[in-house]
Structure 1
């Protein structure tokens, strides 16, 4: 039966497709080559959700077929002992959660926006599942907490109408007019126009009636509060948490305009009988965080439902300020807040910006944080009255995306890398005891000193690799190197990833693909991407160099902050130094056949480079959703971003806005240039791409313009992404002296069936 098959259709297709590389879309690839079709067709596996003893792992997977132009989504369970995956549920199913080690809850949404909460046995879910209840709208971000007598508290998020009811688009009455009238910011955000509906957290209970669970009526925990959570556009389960004693969440400060402020507050709703929802919802309590006026995120209850940890930033209007760690030791007194590793200057003694919190089983707490192009795992004692030492590195990434505590104190880790799109592993409980006992600590070399050595990885137990450590893509760790070079003014060291072709020979010379990341407060990391994947470009025959210049994250907050008022300054100098280092030290790189590519701030830098000397070093450039004119940033939605990074509002600092404006140097534009810009990008508006293309065309510079009317700042739809890859690869290959990708494919792929 379908529910009993031991290997899903997607995994069978995955093994067939990627091990042998035969059937991609409706075509047969005869060469063993990692191509855009392989990248975009490969199953995408979610983070793993283990049961309490880690014997089984729930996950979702999605696969796109270019042959049928359809996406298939499934919920699966991986048996760790046998390493076999079984089907749980298909289309429309999401958010799989464990009620116990053998019972699964998931959501199933119908086309009319109604969501069913289904419960069943992990073994034969299709035959055993039943509806525990229905929700009259679209919801997600499920969280569960065990209560007394086998009951559970449940939280989901979904849009609320102005009256506080759950919004369902299918019930919305269509207006006879398409007009929108606004009297305050936001007008639009990320990729959508703002409406009167707001995100909310909905609470309910699951209780046994006989041998089945039944879902109670859901209550809007934020009704009447003027608060919205999760925070758009990317807030999810990291914006709230529940325990047997209540709810904690983050929300934008209702007294400040979200277009010009980043300040969010932490709120608690708690009580001894909190989950007796018939008694009504308590008023939200705003947690005081003195001296911290920026974004507060990741509120997380400990395992006993007593303490709460969260992050907060000092600076309002600066979304890339450092996260610092705070603890509420006891939920009964949420006004008592401890600031961990605080210093008199307010910067904090731990010079990393953590991204997630996981409470341990004993006296430990774990954090993920960026560290020199990786997302690594750190540990510290949770006895904060005695602990003064900052967290210590215990697992070096890759890119660790989640850490989940098992009942024996071990951690289940989900991660990826530059060659691996999904890895599950377990960190034994003994790892923390070991690092506590031996007292070893680790810190990166300062940016003003020569780089040193990294510690070896601590022992983690392999559980499951979705790509057999990249081998099913034909990729290996041997293709990856790291370099450090002296950057601007020869004062700071800059880190860069080097990705080589799988057929690499040191005696051969390869054209350079110079990658510039977005942000600008971001970084190229040892993590998988389906948008900017260096392996795709390396397999075309490039050596890809991806530097993390001034402004990048994961190298200390001072290095990140140094880009303020320096958009075309220090980072540009770092990139010039990096190019010189490549030319002088990487003998296998032919810098006379170089191309450069970047998106967002990377797109800005492409436009800046085009007008400066470095631009003449490249055969071709690619700008994806970049900045052409700094003044046009006034059309953006999150205005706090240019106000902070440029150093004030346009009318307060017009010289600063003009100083780093790429359009001022349009008279120097001469390098062939591909411009890509999507119409639903409301962060960097469409006119930026059109203006850059118009300059190139009127100056007679070889150029192309690619646009997508249905994409935002990113190109997410598989068919659009394939066209994006085809266009980009054809453009740079033609100018770097390589065969166009589409011409190679036409010769190496069988005719359409």
Structure 2
């Protein structure tokens, strides 16, 4: 819902921003308490909370990396959810680590070497360590996390994404995912892995279909992720009553080419369970995965007694995030109308398993939900959706399957990533922010929000970190006078009387956004801690502001977003006297890297003094021919390059290399099959040949993201070092010869 910016709004925003800037001045920051890259990488990485059947406790796992030991530790915690006098209500979702933990709720370690778990009963937790499933009774005193508990059984191959249906006090059904071969047998995976056929495939790969590589992996045509079920029973053996596998491992997709979770990023949200059925999403097997986004919703009995049945219908694109109503009679999911466009609006679909009736819900709501969760009594649907740079929670009341009102915003701030309904009608949510990793919160029926954990504050890595003034949202007039959005992050110890270099961060996607959530890769707070006034912008193409805003980039990659970025930078320079217009630098990855290369060719006024391009697009046409998901460039540029060649060439940074003159760091990963390494090498070659100060940092073992902790530390050193070097006063800059840096061996 793009709209013109009223003339008075720009003035109000300017005055507001200046006043807030003056009010946010603080004393000088203590260097010992700054957010360094090492602290960011070492900080806890909590998962999402899972609530027990009677809502008395929750499980959440965390992992953290030690540079001293070069080891990642994993801990599964239990959180008591019973009322406590120490639990203080909050007026809004406070996700800052600077706030002291507002809870005296017990948070105790259950098991080491596990990062996720589920409940067998209200007092029994189960979890995977390696390929073995263990369980513990949480009511039998304080658990010893070094003791894995009692052994339920071992899986014959790696499994993941375990979900449970509790049938009775002594029986249950598990559904999980595993990567298997054409025969669909979990028991045969190891033998296939070691077979001569598989060894031959590792030496020579032969394909007859497109998408031979996906993300960072060569696709094995004989292997796919599929869903399995297995029964559990509780039996007494000697003096102990323990759980055991009570059936074989049943492939719910046996004899099909269906795949779930859908790679490369599918997970437990790709399937859902009722007391009778499993519902999941899979790519349409009749269509090429390389140039179609269509996914279907399938249903099969828990015991695999019948083959899968497709319940989605008609012409549509992506479909996913299924969820059953508590009575198991209704199935809801999210669906896009357009095949081939991965950023179309997600619309709620409803299907009755009794009548086979299928309908659309909230088709006119200009929001794109990511998750649906029913309340325990089935009367309310909770909707997770990005909106205005926040990941918000909405409630939607249902009456006899029909909407009785519009969605109501109930959690307005933070980066909520999961919703768990409570027996009393409230919620447990997991949420992060720009200044805090994931934490667990309770939301009462009346909307009262209470913080239950504070993993960041209680960690060695983040416990004493000074994040500086709170990040601030702003609105400005962008291309064609349209309203655009962004964030300003001031450095710790900010002093409005001083001048600060400005670091502009450009997000990828391009259909993405800078939201109020924690990141372990492009974290704006790390840049601010280095003394930058950080500006993150959500130009045309960004999400969370309506579908028109998102689609404004289609066929316009270097047009509206480019003008929006420049307008956003000038807006900040105009309203913030502390922003030094002579020391503006920019960095971005993926589409953000594309925009860096585009800015490189359109920086005639030398607004940007230095640039950083991570895994960016150099030649738009070449990326079509070398990428994995062909539907992406087809949708963005309006067709295939042999039919609309001019559209690709119009927005290609390669067309403007004669203007390249700004110092630039180029970073690329050797396993990036989305944007291959030739894009980074091409940009570096141009910079070198033109004599532009430049450096190439190449990570042979990384994909589109830098994930290895040691590599991530090197990435931060190179990026921050480059930006700091070129954002100094001109007299202090020593121009080095162009350099080449490789990933270190260890």
Normalising by the smaller structure, the TM-score range is: 0.7 to 0.9
**What is residue 294 of structure 1 aligned with on the other side?**
317
Query: Is residue 406 of structure 2 the alignment partner of residue 390 of structure 1?
Result: yes
1:300·1:309 contact (CA, 8 Å) conserved in 2?
yes
Partner of 1:737: 728
Contact 1:381 1:387 (8 Å CA) reproduced: yes
Change (3 A) 1:241 1:477: farther
Instruction: Tell me, yes or no, if the aligned pair for 1:419 and 1:469 is still in contact at 8 Å.
Output: no
Query: Does 2:200 align with 1:181?
Result: no
Task: Give 1:145's match in structure 2, choosing from 165, 182, 195.
Answer: 165
1:696 alignment counterpart: 687
Aligned residue for 1:430, secondary structure, equals: coil
1:410, 1:426 within 8 Å by CA — same for their partners in 2? yes
Q: Which residue of structure 1 aligns with residue 21 of structure 2?
A: none
2:306 maps to which residue? 282
Q: Which residue of 2 aligns with 1:557?
A: 547
Change (3 A) 1:638 1:615: farther
2:467 & 2:528 partners in 1: Cα distance?
Answer: 12
Q: Any conservation in 1 of the 2:593–2:617 contact (CA below 8 Å)?
A: yes
Q: 1:220 aligns with which of 238, 247, 251?
A: 251
8 Å Cα contact 2:111-2:147 kept in structure 1: no
For residues 51 and 148 of structure 1, the distance between their equivalents in structure 2, rounded to whole angstroms, comes to: 15
1:588 is matched with: 578
| Cα distance change, pair 588–384 in 1 and its aligned pair in 2 (3 A) | farther
Structure-2 residue corresponding to 1:486: 477
Moved more, 601-610 or 467-476: 467-476
Map 1:260-409 to 2 at 5 A: 260-270=291-301, 275=302, 277=303, 281-291=305-315, 293-328=316-351, 330-333=352-355, 335-341=356-362, 348-362=363-377, 363-383=379-399, 385-387=401-403, 389-409=405-425
Residue among 163, 167, 176 paired with 1:156: 176
| Structure with greater contact order relative to length (CA < 8 Å, sep ≥ 6) | 2
**Could you tell me which residue of structure 2 aligns to residue 69 of structure 1?**
70
With structure 1 as the length reference, what TM-score do the two structures score?
0.85
In structure 1, C-alpha distance between the alignment counterparts of 2:184 and 2:255, rounded to whole Å: 7
Aligned to 1:653: 644
The counterpart of 2:269, out of the listed 200, 224, 238, is 238
- Please say which of residues 353-362 and 249-258 is displaced more in the overlay: 353-362
Shift of 1:169: 5.2
Secondary structure at the aligned position of 1:676 is classed as: strand
**Alpha-carbon separation, structure 2, partners of 1:30 and 1:677:** 31
- Between the aligned partners of 1:128 and 1:511, the Cα distance in structure 2 is 51
Any conservation in 2 of the 1:467–1:473 contact (CA below 8 Å)?
A: no
Aligned to 1:355, the other structure's residue is in SS state: strand
Indicate the residue corresponding to 1:48 in structure 2. 49
Partner residue, 2:456: 467
Displacement of 1:635 in angstroms is 0.3
Q: Is the aligned partner of 1:418 residue 2:434?
A: yes
Q: How much is the aligned-residue C-alpha RMSD, in angstroms?
A: 2.0
Gaps spanning 5+ residues in structure 2: where? 1-29, 85-103, 734-746
Cα contact 2:296–2:310 (8 A) shared by 1: yes
1:96 aligned to which of 110, 117, 134: 117
The residue aligned with 1:87 is 109
TM-score where L is the length of structure 2: 0.86
Give yes or no for the alignment of 1:249 onto 2:274: no
CA distance in 2, matches of 1:410, 1:151: 28
Cα distance in 1 for partners of 2:697, 2:344 equals: 34
Match of 1:678 in 2: 669
- Which residue pairs with 1:11 in the alignment? none
SS of the residue corresponding to residue 648 of structure 2 reads helix
Partner of 1:541: 531
In the alignment, is the contact (CA less than 8 A) between 1:190 and 1:681 conserved in 2? Answer: yes
In the alignment, what sits opposite 1:664? 655
Aligned equivalents of 1:703 and 1:621: distance in 2? 9
Residues 121 and 128 in structure 1, CA contact (< 8 A), matched pair in contact too: no
Q: Deviations over 1:387-429 (max 9, x none)?
A: 2543121111210000101111110010000001122111112
Of 209, 219, 233 in structure 2, the residue corresponding to residue 207 of structure 1 is: 233
CA contact (8 A) 2:43 2:456 kept: no
Evaluate the alpha carbon distance shift between residue 467 and residue 615 of structure 1 in structure 2; reply closer, same or farther with a 3 A threshold: farther
Aligned equivalent of 1:510: 500
Contact 2:375 2:422 survives alignment (8 Å): no
2:698 to 707, 725, 728: 707
Secondary structure of the residue aligned to 1:422 is strand
Distance apart, 1:83 and its partner CA:
3.5
CA distance, structure 1, for counterparts of residue 667 and residue 682 of structure 2 = 12
Contact (CA 8 Å) 1:250, 1:297: kept in 2 or not? Answer: yes
Distance in 2 of aligned mates of 1:229 and 1:288: 16
Would you say the 8 A contact 1:207–1:213 is kept in 2?
A: yes
Superposed structure 1 runs of 4+ greater than 6 Å apart: none
Q: Which residue of 1 aligns with 2:678?
A: 687
Contact 1:401 1:415 in 2 (8 A): yes
* 1:149/1:585 CA distance change after superposition, 3 Å: closer
Instruction: Give the distance between the partners of 2:32 and 2:39, measured in 1 at CA.
Output: 12
Cα distance in 2 for residues equivalent to 1:641 and 1:387: 35
Distance 1:704 1:203, change over 3 A: same
Aligned to 1:78: 79
Q: Once structures 1 and 2 are overlaid, which stretch shifts more, 692-701 or 62-71?
A: 62-71
Tell whether the 8 Å contact from 1:576 to 1:614 is kept in structure 2 after alignment. no
What is the CA-CA distance between 1:77 and the residue it aligns to? 2.0
